[in-house]
Amino acid sequence: MQRRARTKHLIELGGLVVKSGVVEMTGDDRAVILGALLWMADKLKSEERDRALALWAGKGKQTFDEN
């Protein structure tokens, strides 16, 4: 059961990457996508964490509301 839940979770996360348009805009370049995610992780470890979270949450909610 845990394996099924994990698989579902990973598929949903992959769907978010596709929904963002990043896959198309990078030509499915996984090194670029990983680099961008690592840049996000660095932001989350910095003093800019709260600001970044607020900005990203706002953009994400707006996108969900539009679709």
The Cα-based distances of 13 to 19, 26, 48 in angstroms read 10, 17, 23
Query: Count of domains in the chain?
Result: 1
3-state secondary structure of 53: helix
Does residue 2 register a pLDDT over 80? yes
Does residue 1 register a pLDDT over 90? no
| 49-66 vs 30-44: helix crossing angle, rounded to 10 | 130
The dihedral region occupied by 27, where left means phi > 0, alpha psi between -120 and 50, and beta the remainder, is left
**Parent domain of 58:** 2-66
| Residue-wise pLDDT tens digits, 5-34 | 999 999 999 999 999 999 999 999 999 999
